[in-house]
Structure formats: structure tokens, C-alpha cells
Structure 1
């Protein structure tokens, strides 16, 4: 299969609207009124309207509550934050590598916004940890991904999928890497999100959960973007629309769900009121089905087409920038400065 070529810095002989999503031609000049994909500008506006920064969120109540969490709650809180920090760090880099091969300048712009949002997400984890714990503990949390075997197994699964594309960039490996991306952004976060939302459901660490909601909202748009790119690549390269590639999607999600369930059993299990391991396993399979459908492929798990944790919808779907979220409003947040809790960064 042909090798992917990086986008030219500029091309005076090419149109502004690209002739292909990858390996096409384009002037590389961005004119939002002259792009190949009509959905790109709408998605750009949505991503911009979701703009937020961690500094808007007052962590004062969480600082007190963190010390009152049980040992199991603190352990899960710390390890899930460590997981999220790893995933968003890798995702920032992956977004840039994908952008290098996208011919259409509007998609490059979207990938740049996505990468910026991942940086904000990653910084938010430092912000949370610097608020609730000391620098030594924070440093240890950011090292979990290196030493925790369960965490390492699920992370390596994603990174190896990315690495195959980086080492051998072809339409096939590019398409496959997007499957791993949708797993990272659309599945691997979700047991962690469920943990934080369950804490908030019990009136614990509400500010952290508010921040997680912001991240959740961004990630939904990221999955939307990559699902569209996945479909567009298969339209430009009909030879990729095969039963074998559909099965690759399903089998990759089955393996990812298995790893996510193993992680959920390890970090959450049946230790917390309000969420059981049976429910969490069903939720992971339900979420996997949802993501596979977004890619235009048949679901890998039968009988998992209904959300077994319906209460999560109130937390994950709320527009936190315009609506009350746990009786808070974003305009009511106190700006955090070096005088009121952000001096440890």
C-alpha cells in the first residue's frame, strides 16, 4: 500500500479545498468558506464554544474533602488521575502527528485545537493534584504509568497501535491508529469518569468532577472528529472498506474492553457505594458498542445496547458552561492564584 506523504507547507498550484483527506493536494491556506468537509466549521465552532481553563474552578471544598476520603477512594482517585495524565500526554503528541498527514487545512486546524485542549486537560490534572496533595505525592502519581502493571498493559495496547502508524505511515495504519484513538478518547476514560461522577453523586470532590465534566465534553467532540476522519479515509480509499477491517475494529474494541474491565476491577471493583463491578463491566461494553457504531461498524457486544448507569447522563451530558452543575455556575468560580492554592505548581 502507498506511503503517506506529509502535507506541503504551501502549494501555489493546488486548490484551497483539498482533493483528498490524505495524500491529496491543497494550497494549505485555510479559508473556512472553501473547504472540502462542510461539517468542519461547525465542529470548529463547537470546540471553541467549549473553551475553559482549570483556573476557573474553585478547589477549596475538594481540598478539605480529599483528606476525608477513604483509603480506597484516595487510591482510586490518585491512580485514575495518573492514568488520565498519561493518556492526554500521549494524545497531544498523536494529534500533531496525525495533522502532519491531513491534506485539508480545516482538519489540520481542528487537530490543532484538539491538541491544545489535550494540553489544557493535562494541566488540569496538575491543578487538581497541586490543590489537594503535596508535591511529592503528585510526582509519584505522575509516575504510576511506568510501574503499575495493570495500568501499563492497557496503555501499551494503545501506544503500540499508534506506533505502528508512526513507524509505517500508510492509509491502512493511519485508519487503524484512529481506531486506537477512539478507544483512548471514547472508552479508556470512561470508567475513570464514572468513578468521579459517582463521588460527586455522593457529594464528594464536586469541583474535581466539574472539571472532569469539562474534559468529558471535549472528548466527546474529539471522538466525533476522529470518527468523521475514519469514515472519510474509507470513502477516499474504498479498498479499506472490507469485512476484514470491520472485524479488526470489533476485535480491537473487544480487547480494549477486556483491558478496561480488568482495570476497572483493579481500581474500582465493588468497593464503592453507588457503582458495582457488574454495572461497570456492562457500562464499558455499552460504551464500546456506542463507539464502534460511530465508526460505522456493527457492535461487538450483543445485549449491551442500553446504558446500565443511566444516572451518569445527568453528569456527562450537562453543558457546564451554561447550566447549573451540582448547583454551581462557571461564572461563580473564584479565580485561583498563587495566593489561594496554586503555588505548588
Structure 2
């Protein structure tokens, strides 16, 4: 499969002929005529969610950080370093490895918006690191010095590398699943860990920053889940038993990796987290992601820490997290039924 032609005036593709990939678009983005209405709605949601990292108040976090316990400080630094890697990777991955092969203009637009948001998250982490660290390189370079962090980063980067180059229809579909897993699993142990600090009254600005980031990640998750489901309708022959087993293997590997990572960053020393709780939480998320794309759950477990969902919600804003007008951005809540 070759990359799509950016400017293609000879295209005679009509709206009904449009495909998530493998189509022949003319290169124009026309939001008045969208085949994938979910993409248009998602664009509006992403736009409504616009926010700016510098407006989240981090002054108290700079003070709190000095009084974190050594396990809490270690966890905070490791989580930040890992999140920096994933959003850096995703900023480029979307534009270099995914969007060039997607042939629905409205989906191209959403992927471009997502890439911007991933870069914005990297800016968010910079604000957090600059607020609490006298030597920012210590956190940015942790992937070079921490073997467990490097192991996780190498696995995720390796997955993307294996699904790029010499592109085929199947590789495109598997890449969609890989992105669903990244957005829906690989961020969540770190998010929950930082929420745990916020729940105990520490690093409240960081918790609020993660809320905004996670709200963006939910739209990114919805984007890839809808891309998968739309492709399934257009190309049902690709979704055979062999593909399902490959996808389930990807999910099992992701659950093992993220659970191991969550145990490593908390080490049984963060209130509310044990090795079993972390694994069950990741298994629960994996089941929800599988169900969203029409597969039966793999683990059949209950949510072990439902307080995390409540804590990450924008329905109960804590105004002391903010300065200025950031609270105005809380309007962008997400209704999954719309997608």
C-alpha cells in the first residue's frame, strides 16, 4: 500500500466510495459533506476541549514536591518520564505512520488535531517538570538510566516499528489496534498513580493537569475505536479469527506490561495500590476496550478502584486547582453515546 496522494484533482471518488484507508481522495477537507459523521462530531468535541498547560496552577506543587516521601517522589518522576516518551512518540507516529495511509479527509483532520494535542501534552509535562525540578534533564533522561522504563519504551516503540514500512491492509488494521491500546491502556497506571497523590491532598496541580490530558486521551481512544469499527463494516474479510487472536495477544502483552509497570512505580508503597489491584484495574480496562470494538472480554473482572473514574471526572471541579480562566475549559465533557 502506498501513501495517499495529497493533491489529487483527477479523483472521481464520491462520498459513498470513501474509505478509512485504501480510497482515492482528492485531498480536500469538506466538513459540510462527511461520510463519517462521528469524525465530525469528534472534531467538535476535541475543539471544545481546548486548554493551555501554562494556565494550570503549579505553584503549590513546587512546594509539595519537596515534602513527598522518597517512594512518592520516585513514582512521580518515573511517571512523568514515561508519559513524556509516549506523547513524544505519538506526536510523530500519527503523522508519519498512520495519517499518510488514511483516506477519509474528516478522519485525517481528527488525526492532525490529535497530533497537536499530543505535542500539547508534552508541553504540559514540561510545565510540570520545570515546576518541581532544579535539573530537568534528570527526568527527561530517565529512560536512559532506568532499565524498567527503557524496557517498556522499547516494547511500545518496537510494536510501532513492526507495523510501519511495507504497509499492508492487515498492518493498517493492527496499527489501529496498537493505537487503541496505547491510548486506552498504556497511560492509565501512571494516571492513576498521580491521581492517588491528588486524592491524598498532594500535587493537586499535577492531578488537574492529568485530568485535562486524560480527557484528550479519551477522544483519541474514541477516534481509533471508531476507525476500527468503520473499517470492520467496510472490510469485514480482514476481521477473521486469525486477526482476533493477534489482537488478543497484543492486549495480553499490553496488560502484562502495564501491570508490571504499575507495580514497579508504586512498589506497594503508595496508599490504595497493590500489585493485584493494579493488574485487575488494567485487566478491567482491557475488557472495556475489547468490548468497544466488538470482541468479548478477556478477563471478566470488576473495577477495583472506581474512585479513579470519579477523581478524573470534570463533573466535580475543585476550584483551588486553578488560577485565571482555566476552569472555563471544563465544558468539554464527553458523552460516549454520541460516538
Q: By the TM > 0.5 criterion, same fold?
A: yes
1:289 aligned counterpart, secondary structure: helix
Give the direction of change, closer, same or farther, for the CA distance of 1:9–1:130 in structure 2 (3 Å limit).
same
2:81 aligned counterpart, secondary structure: helix
Following the alignment from structure 1 to structure 2, what is the Cα–Cα distance between the partners of residues 175 and 159? 17
For structure 1, list consecutive stretches of 5 or more residues without a partner in the other structure: 335-345
Following the alignment from structure 1 to structure 2, what is the Cα–Cα distance between the partners of residues 212 and 48? 18
Partner of 1:231: 229
Is 1:92–1:116's contact at 8 Å kept on the other side of the alignment? yes
Q: How does 1:102-121 map to 2 (within 5 A)?
A: 102-121=102-121
Following the alignment from structure 2 to structure 1, what is the Cα–Cα distance between the partners of residues 228 and 40? 18
Is 1:89–1:119's contact at 8 Å kept on the other side of the alignment? yes
Following the alignment from structure 1 to structure 2, what is the Cα–Cα distance between the partners of residues 19 and 332? 41
- 1:97-121 Cα distance to aligned partner (Å, 9 max, x none): 2111111111111011000000000
Q: Structure 1 residue 140: deviation in Å?
A: 2.0
- 1:140-164 Cα distance to aligned partner (Å, 9 max, x none): 2111223322222222222222112
Partner of 2:178: 180
Q: Structure 1 residue 4: deviation in Å?
A: 4.0
Judge which range, 309-318 or 123-132, deviates more: 309-318
Following the alignment from structure 2 to structure 1, what is the Cα–Cα distance between the partners of residues 290 and 238? 16
Which of the numbers 138, 142, 145 marks the counterpart of 1:144?
142
Partner of 1:269: 267
Judge which range, 61-70 or 146-155, deviates more: 146-155
Following the alignment from structure 2 to structure 1, what is the Cα–Cα distance between the partners of residues 216 and 159? 23
Following the alignment from structure 1 to structure 2, what is the Cα–Cα distance between the partners of residues 241 and 313? 32
1:45 aligned counterpart, secondary structure: helix
1:185 aligned counterpart, secondary structure: helix
Is 1:4–1:22's contact at 8 Å kept on the other side of the alignment? no
Partner of 1:47: 46
Partner of 1:313: 309
Is 1:249–1:292's contact at 8 Å kept on the other side of the alignment? no
- How many residues are treated as equivalent by the alignment? 325
Partner of 2:337: none
Partner of 1:199: 197
2:163 aligned counterpart, secondary structure: helix
Partner of 2:331: none
- RMSD (Å) for aligned C-alpha atoms: 1.8
Is 1:249–1:297's contact at 8 Å kept on the other side of the alignment? no
Partner of 1:325: 318
Following the alignment from structure 1 to structure 2, what is the Cα–Cα distance between the partners of residues 193 and 123? 17
Q: Structure 1 residue 93: deviation in Å?
A: 0.7
Is 1:54–1:127's contact at 8 Å kept on the other side of the alignment? yes
2:67 aligned counterpart, secondary structure: coil
Is 2:4–2:24's contact at 8 Å kept on the other side of the alignment? no
Give the direction of change, closer, same or farther, for the CA distance of 1:144–1:329 in structure 2 (3 Å limit).
closer
Partner of 2:336: none
Which TM-score applies when normalising by structure 1?
0.89
For structure 2, list consecutive stretches of 5 or more residues without a partner in the other structure: 328-339
Q: How does 1:1-345 map to 2 (within 5 A)?
A: 3-15=1-13, 17=15, 19-97=18-96, 98-134=98-134, 136=135, 138-302=136-300, 304=301, 306-318=302-314, 324-325=317-318, 327-328=320-321, 331=324
Which TM-score applies when normalising by structure 2?
0.91
Is 2:55–2:322's contact at 8 Å kept on the other side of the alignment? no
Larger relative contact order (Cα-Cα within 8 Å, sequence gap ≥ 6): 2
Q: Structure 1 residue 14: deviation in Å?
A: 2.7
